[in-house]
Amino acid sequence: MFQNLKQQMKKYTIIFLCLILCFSAAPTKIFAADVATDAIPEWPKGPEPIYSDTAVLIEASTGAVLYDKGMNEVLYPASITKIMTAIVALENSNLTDTVTFTDTACALAVPGNARIDAKPGEIMTMEQCLYALMLASANEVGCQIAIQIAGSEAAFAEMMNAKAAELGCTNTHFTNASGLHDANHYTTAYDMALIMQYAIQNQEFLTITGSSSYTIPATNLSAERTLSTHNAMMVPGDFYYEGTFSGKSGNTSEAGSTLVTTVTRNNMTLICVVLKAADGGQSVADTTALMDYGYNNFTLTDVSIQNQERTGNVILPNGIDFSSLIEDTDEAGSIFHYSYQGHFMGSAVSNIEEKTADTNDISSLSSVSPSPVISESSENENFFTPAHIIMLVLVVMILAGIFCIFLGLKKSKKKKRKRR
């Protein structure tokens, strides 16, 4: 009997340790996130169902969040990582730079990986590499771009992290240039929206990601290659969405299907990010539903129509007019921020003093726009979720079981002593 109790105790201890390891492995999502924007009074109710674990929809010029389903929850990005890779590359190289592929990078050109089968010693231009990165999602090309610019992929990842921090990303950490799985390589839907908001201000980025195909001429080691975009929403077909001009998809078994999409209609640019969809079809369906929701329920409004002394934009949901917004200013009194029920809606600058920014430009507007006000539940949902409650209950149950075993052992010893 004593031996059986020892075995039971050992079994419970192993289960306990396994549970701790499972729940501490980041980032793991068990329950679907709530839609925080649905809690804003008189806000248009988001489309249902959105199957992706998390999603966000923002208006690009203001940075206003139109839809928030767990947008600050940490998940894996997969190949949408390459948006940041491309931007860091564009800002730290020239399109005419010569890139010679190394053994290190070409080791990623294996079956199962997105690739163009680059060979060690093969020579391309940086421009050709960026098309291969963004259209074909070639992982070995991402690695070689990193080595070309920073000397190693790890050093390049630090450049990516520095850029993310500069853009206001607070829950993002990159370890590679491709998005291949790493437990320490993660982001959020909102952080990726911020990265895309910045990326679409770069004309070279727009030219590359807005192309449906591109031909890399024959190189010193390979024949001519014709690349086609993986962005199904941008090309004619079942998933085409009018106005789509840039984006990036991703997929790994750990990340699921991820998608970043930008669309312009009616003089309004929307950025949608969905993370951890079941497959590419689901990520496209969710994005389509969210884009329809945005264009059917919100209007970009020029602040100068209400006040000629100011220049800027605010986003207005159907049924909510400009007079419903609360105005706040910076310390200098020259930048005006507008909110509704504590939710950021846009900003403007004063026309009285000399303008320091052209507010018709996305870059100038985003530079004066604060981070949107997020509901308290959305900010704190990473710290105490139902998963944590289940873990706590399981831990208590296991500890109780171990305690009972100890009591059984003590009683067993007492009985043996009495027999003696």
Name the residue ranges covered by the structural domains of the chain: 76-254, 300-375
Q: Is position 371 annotated as part of the catalytic site?
A: no
| Predicted confidence (pLDDT) at residue 370 exceeds the cutoff of 80 | no
At 331 the pLDDT is 76
378's torsion region: left (phi>0), alpha (psi -120 to 50) or beta? Answer: alpha
Confidence grade of residue 112 (pLDDT, cut at 50, 70, 90): confident
Tell me what the mean pLDDT of segment 157-185 comes to.
98
Percent residues over pLDDT 90 in the chain? 71
CB-CB contact of 331 with 166 (8 Å): no
404 band by pLDDT with thresholds 50, 70 and 90 = low
Region 166-181 average pLDDT? 98
- Rounded Cα distance between 59 and 287, Å, is 14
For the record, the structure tokens of 161 come out as 């992290």
Pairing of the two strands 65-69 and 98-100: unpaired
Q: Which of 12-21, 142-151, 250-259 has the lowest mean pLDDT?
A: 12-21
Task: Convert the pLDDT of each residue in 77-108 to its tens digit.
Answer: 999 999 999 999 999 999 999 999 999 999 99
Q: Which residue has the higher pLDDT, 71 or 16?
A: 71
Query: Could you tell me which residues come within 8 angstroms of residue 14 by beta carbon, excluding any fewer than 6 positions away?
Result: none
Better-predicted residue by pLDDT, 148 or 8: 148
Question: Considering 52, 79, 347, 375, which one is annotated as catalytic?
Answer: 79
Question: Would you tell me the crossing angle of helices 153-166 and 139-150 to the nearest 10 degrees?
Answer: 90
> Is pLDDT at 31 greater than 70 in this prediction?
no
- Residue 160 scores a pLDDT above 90: yes
pLDDT digits (tens, 9 = 90+) for 180-222: 999 999 999 999 999 999 999 999 999 999 999 999 999 999 9
Does position 260 have pLDDT exceeding 90, yes or no? Answer: yes
Spot the catalytic one: 137, 178, 283, 375. Answer: 137
Q: Is 347 a catalytic residue?
A: no
Q: Identify the band that residue 308 occupies on the pLDDT scale cut at 50, 70 and 90.
A: confident
Average pLDDT of the residues in 234-259: 96
Is residue 137 flagged as an active site residue?
yes
Residue 403 confidence (pLDDT): 65
Q: Which fold has domain 76-254?
A: Beta-lactamase (3.40.710)
pLDDT of residue 332: 73
Pair 56, 273: CB distance under 8 Å: yes
141 and 122 Cβ atoms separated by less than 8 Å: no
Mean pLDDT on 374-388: 39
Q: Work out the pLDDT band at 28, boundaries 50, 70, 90.
A: very low
Question: Which of 51-55, 154-158, 199-203, 409-413 has the lowest average pLDDT?
Answer: 409-413
The whole-angstrom separation of Cα 314 and Cα 347 is 6
pLDDT at 334: 80
Tell me which amino acid residue 194 is. Answer: L
Asked whether the predicted pLDDT for residue 23 surpasses 50, the reply is: no
pLDDT average, residue stretch 275-299: 97
Residue 416 has pLDDT above 80, yes or no: no
Q: pLDDT tier at 360 (50, 70, 90 boundaries)? A: very low
Q: Which of the residues 69, 82, 248, 276 is marked catalytic?
A: 82
Residues 282-294 have a mean pLDDT of 98
